[in-house]
A and B are shown apart, each in its own frame.
Chain A
């Protein structure tokens, strides 16, 4: 179960839940775009930091089972190996897109 489902009922009102979901969605979109761009331009240290931040979001709101994908990408970025990066990025992207879909769905049901 994603953490967001345990978190949302604990918030005091719909407005604070909506605020959290909207900010999280905006942040995930920004992180996805920034990681993609940093990998595209070969800025691996920046991509690594952004990946760590995105891992924090998924740890906090999402499904802990997807976290290993972030570690794999971090390792590939540290090694600077384009082949490994190319293989490791799609699962991270998928994990973030899945979390985005979950958050959007929760937002619609508020």
Chain B
């Protein structure tokens, strides 16, 4: 008798999106997959962290932009990474592709998919992410999976600087950003000052104009 190999265990999946329709839609579709267990369906980053403590998962599908929540973006992906290093994190976002994809990659996500992607594509990415929490970075383009790390969308800035600018563009103060990112106000101010220098921006007005242009269409709200 031939052995067909050890079957894969069922994948435990957590879904986080601040939009209940999207969590419902994804969960309903993924529940129909024979090897998936949908363990957590959450609309807040705080709720997801609490529930993961109770029951960890193999894969987390997380929305990148969660305005008005305790954590989102790179900060939240890093937080998940620190607490659950073996869990694969797939970023799912309606934000601008290049910036969000790169930011998710740098924060340690396992893959990225735009919200306009089809559900079968999401399933494909989830299966590819199985056991790949830190190896490679999965994206989907032109009908195929890719494992190539994304390119930096703006080589002038570090990811920390981009993250600080993204939060400034959301209207947060240096103090609020420092609290959110668990950094000192001095560090946040340094990131802001260095990015302004790199971008050749001399004052807050020119920074505001740059943010207006840069984050208008490219990096979500």
Q: Which A residues lie at the B interface, using CB under 8 A?
A: 3, 6-7, 10-12, 16, 19-20, 23-24, 27, 45, 48-49, 51-53, 55-57, 59-61, 64, 67, 71, 74-75, 78-79
User: Looking at the complex, which one of B22, B28, B118, B119 makes contact with A19 (CB distance below 8 Å)?
Assistant: B28
Question: Does B171 make an interface contact (CB < 8 A)?
Answer: yes
A34 to B25, CA, bound (A): 22
Q: Which residue on A lies nearest to B170, using beta carbons?
A: A45
Residues of A within 8 A of B169 (CB): 78
Are B212 and A79 neighbours in the complex by a CB distance under 8 Å? Answer: yes
Binds A, one of B12-20, B45-53, B145-153: B12-20
Interface of A is mostly: helix
Chain A: CB-nearest residue to B68: A49
Which residues from chain B contact A49 at a C-beta distance below 8 Å?
67-68, 221
B interface, CB within 8 angstroms of A: 17-22, 24-25, 28-29, 31-32, 63, 65, 67-68, 94-95, 114-116, 118-120, 169-171, 211-212, 215-217, 220-221
Do A67 and B19 contact each other (CB < 8 Å), given the known contacts A12-B32, A49-B67, A56-B94? no
State whether B216 touches A71 (Cβ < 8 A): yes
Most buried by B among A48, A52, A57: A52
Taking A3-B116, A3-B118, A11-B32 as known contacts, 13 extra A-B pairs with beta carbons closer than 8 A to each other, sorted by chain A number, are A11-B29, A23-B21, A24-B21, A24-B25, A45-B170, A52-B220, A55-B94, A56-B17, A59-B115, A60-B21, A74-B216, A78-B169, A79-B212
